[in-house]
Amino acid sequence: MIKKRKPPRRPREQDIEELRSRLQDAEDTLRALRVGEVDALVVARAGDDHVVTIQGADLPYRMLLDQMYAGAVTLTPKGVIVYCNERFADIVRTPPARVVGSSLDRYVSPAERPALAALLEPASRDRMRGELAFRARDGTPLPVSVTFAPLRLAGSAGVSGVIGVVVDITERKQQEEIRTQLIEQVMIAQEEERRRIARELHDETGQSLTALLVGLRTIEESRTMAQAAELAQRLRGIVAQTLDEVGRLARGLHPSILDDVGLAAAATRQVQEFAQRHRVAVDVRIEGLDAEAVPPLLQTTVYRVLQEALTNVARHASARRVSIQLVRAGATVELRVQDDGMGFEPRDGGRLGLRGMRERAALLGGSVEVESRPGAGTMITAHLPVRGA
């Protein structure tokens, strides 16, 4: 029995269109490879994606990304890195050739991987931002700020992957820690200042008021007008002394003299009062403060640093002469207080209130330097930028 061979089946129109579409995709892929529009290919395999890097692709946009301060990565929807710039490789301290093809969660500490997943999952639909703790190749923790966004290629309606920008915020974190420490130290200094004022109110003003109260009772018990007049005269002196003490405390709380006469006159008056109270010879040179207005915050800082420096001289130096220079040169104000007292070891300077001076100066971007040695006096120099105020 002879079987008749069936005539070949003609391809359907649907099959022809599918073949044409595949041929067009292949031609587009070859063209992209030929002109260097592709850095890497992701080949789907059972259970995973395989990344094939195209060698020799030298694109202008890659040069731009490599010059970025921030790290840049391109990810597959599953989080596999198909491209990274030089900055990202520097952040994770891994050669770029070893970064490409690895999963991004490899560079995130285990405790942070759920947070990374929570950012990546919606990143295929919308822009996501957050902060994570990356981990360098050597295990060093790296606080970073990340931004993820969906990647849509030209001519494609769907999402092809995720692009990410990674910024090392180690320096910002350190600045935040320093700022927190400064705030804590300022609060401690405020409490110490309140404690000092309370002590002076109790020891000096309180005793004067007590003496005044006792004197008034004595006047009531006086038998003659002469005795009453003599006691009243003594009480007048106590009242005058008390007013001076209260005025000094008030000036310590807020130097209103700065608002009235300015920094140059206020500093001069403060030095004169110091010389009279402690019987110390003082040389003063003030220059350049009247040429241009000094910001109020800078005036207060200079006044406080001078106040603290003179207080240290009175308490610890046993000096016979003090030299003070307050000069403005351009955008900087320099205050120098030098005495011929007993001096000290600079490493022990924390007990002399130098910390408070340095904190005040640091808040304006300035500095305080101390030069001293036992038996050779002390020189405190503060440099304060005018623009920092």
Per-residue pLDDT of the chain (389 residues; tens, 9 = 90+): 555 555 555 556 666 677 667 666 655 554 554 444 445 444 444 444 444 444 444 444 454 455 556 888 888 888 899 888 888 888 888 888 888 889 998 888 888 899 999 999 888 888 899 988 888 777 878 888 889 988 876 666 677 788 888 888 877 777 788 777 777 777 777 777 777 777 777 777 778 788 888 888 888 888 888 888 888 888 888 888 888 777 777 766 666 778 778 889 889 988 998 898 888 999 999 998 877 778 888 998 999 899 889 988 988 888 899 999 999 988 899 999 999 998 887 765 455 578 778 888 888 889 999 998 888 899 999 999 987 55
Question: Two tokens at 309?
Answer: 């420096």
Distance CA 282, CA 257 (A): 21
Q: Which position has the token pair 């044409």?
A: 20
Question: Two tokens at 308?
Answer: 């603290």
Distance CA 214, CA 238 (A): 11
CATH 3.30.450.20 for domain 38-168, yes or no, is yes
pLDDT given for residue 58 in this prediction? 44
User: SS3 sequence, 156-182?
Assistant: CCCCCEEEEEEEECHHHHHHHHHHHHH
- pTM score: 0.46
Domain ranges of the chain: 38-168, 172-253, 256-389
pLDDT given for residue 325 in this prediction? 95
The phi-psi region of residue 318 (left if phi > 0; otherwise alpha if psi is between -120 and 50; otherwise beta) is: left
- What is the CATH class of 256-389? alpha beta
Burial class (CB in 10 A: 0-12, 13-18, 19+), 222: middle
